[in-house]
Amino acid sequence: MAIIEQTPAEELPFGAFAPRGYIARIIAWTRRAPDSFLGRKMAYALRRIGLHSLGGQPVDIEALGARMRLHPDGNVCEKRVLFTPQYFDPMEREMLAARVREGFHFIDIGANIGAYSLFVAAKAGPGARILAVEPQPEIFARLSFNIAQNPFGTIKAVACALADKPGELTLFLDPVNRGESSVRILSSSTGDTVRVPATTLLALAQSEGYERLDAIKLDVEGAEDLILEPFLNEAPESLWPEFIVMEDSRQRWQSDLIGLLEKRGYKLIAQARLNLMFERKRS
């Protein structure tokens, strides 16, 4: 597994970057903005002002039921969660929350800074088991920090990529949005690369002792088929998750992933702006 590359920001205690004054007022207003055309337009305008005013500094704040240190400059996920969490995948989170129950088993693939993992942990209670999988060393450090600021005790961070076979992969880093880094070549040629360890979803689930998965989320910028196809072909049916939230990357997939899901008994039950939701009832 990769070494956590802690930055100076993670060395300071939570609260060191609490929003104050002008920034605090902007964040409060954008978070209250209604889900309407005018509400979003005003919220996004104020968000741009807030980002400029922060000058690259992180912010310590509560969002989605958890405490997080968010670095909104250069990561769209953190920007959305900081300023406008009400707009952050609302359909996906509502559907996921409706399925949370005692002993919930969830794997967050492409966890980024932990928004989904922390959201589920806040809902699921002490009996949950959550894996937050994130290969980028710098983002993994942020993820680990955020997990440590909360009392849940149900999230384990895993520093690796998931793919169709174990080994080592080249991760292409997006210089504009770290959340769009991928093991598949990016359209931008200006980003850096980093070598990261990789394993398969089946190997990860088995190594962690999972006998069932209630839900998974995949957000890996076009590599969803690379992870899910071998899993559905090789994993025992008892491990197939009931609910899947998956980034809609159909134009980038190299196989008919939706066709495979349908053959395995999954039904596409909802489609949001960025993600697809599938469900399969256990027999």
% helix, strand, coil for the chain, step of 5? 40, 20, 40
**pLDDT tens readout for residues 113-136:** 999 999 999 999 999 999 999 999
Residues sharing a CB contact under 8 Å with residue 115, sequence separation 6 or more, in sequence order = 63, 64, 68, 77, 81, 88
> What is the residue extent of each domain of the chain?
15-86, 90-279
The pLDDT value recorded for residue 4 is 45
**pLDDT tens readout for residues 252-272:** 999 999 999 999 999 999 999
Query: Considering the chain, what percentage of its residues have pLDDT values greater than 90?
Result: 84
The pLDDT value recorded for residue 109 is 97
For domain 90-279, the CATH class is alpha beta
Strand segments, DSSP code E, in the chain are 59-63, 66-70, 105-109, 129-133, 155-158, 161-162, 167-172, 193-199, 215-218, 243-247, 267-271, 275-279
Per the listing, tokens 């903005």 go with: 33
- CA–CA distances in Å: residue 90 to residues 42, 78, 85, 95: 19, 15, 9, 9
The torsion region of residue 74 among left (phi > 0), alpha (psi -120 to 50) and beta comes to: left
Residues of the chain with pLDDT under 70: 1-9, 177-191, 283
